[in-house]
Structure 1
């Protein structure tokens, strides 16, 4: 019975090590992702922001995104993405986050 307890303990220690390693890896990846974009709480006009999507078929949709002060209307299908229109974003208007 002593051998079983020792094996069980070593299994739990190994599991705890793997969980701690996974947690540390995820925390590091999150920190690296935050460092790539703008800092939290600041607005960066060069960011890509999702505005709205409208499905027009089973796998097709029309998507509006904002990028560097412009609104882009994109057609998205399984075969690719097509730029349909590009207009300046309305000045001073807050970002819409619908849909």
Structure 2
């Protein structure tokens, strides 16, 4: 009888050994899967910004540059139809500071690209 119980115990031993999860490999699998999914999100976002229309600067208004002059105030240069507008933005207010034609240097850089 003792021999039968010992034999049954030995037969169950391999199933216990395989039932124990290996936490290191499963953690590595989860982390690699997460990195792959996050990398896919970044790739899709990059593709959308780069290649889909309306996501870039193909519109009628193009922001050339901007700088902060205070905590809530900014000076922004905007290009509209070949004209550069210098705008003061702050406090729920947008004010035209100056208007000038697009500089020749900017036109040459745009044509060279």
TM superposition score normalised by structure 1 = 0.63
- Greater helix share, structure number: 2
Query: In structure 1, what is the equivalent of residue 75 of structure 2?
Result: 62
Question: RMSD of the alignment, in Å?
Answer: 3.3
Query: Tell me, what secondary structure is at the counterpart of 1:49?
Result: strand
Give the 4+ runs in structure 1 shifted more than 6 A.
Answer: none
Q: Which runs of 5+ in 2 are unaligned?
A: 1-17, 108-113
Q: Which runs of 5+ in 1 are unaligned?
A: none
Listed as ranges, the matches of 1:13-92 within 5 Å are 13-36=29-52, 46=60, 48-53=62-67, 55=69, 57-77=70-90, 79-85=91-97, 87=99, 89-90=101-102
* Cα distance, 1:13 vs structure 2: 0.4
> 1:66–1:89: 8 Å Cα contact kept in structure 2?
no
Give the aligned length. 88
**Which of the pair has the greater relative contact order for Cα pairs under 8 Å at 6+ separation?**
1
Deviations, residues 2-37 of structure 1 (Å, cap 9, x unaligned): 846x12211110110010110111011111111235
Query: In structure 1, what is the equivalent of residue 5 of structure 2?
Result: none
Q: 1:21 to 1:10 in 2, by over 3 A?
A: same
- Say which one has the larger Rg: 2
- 1:8 maps onto 2:21 in alignment: no
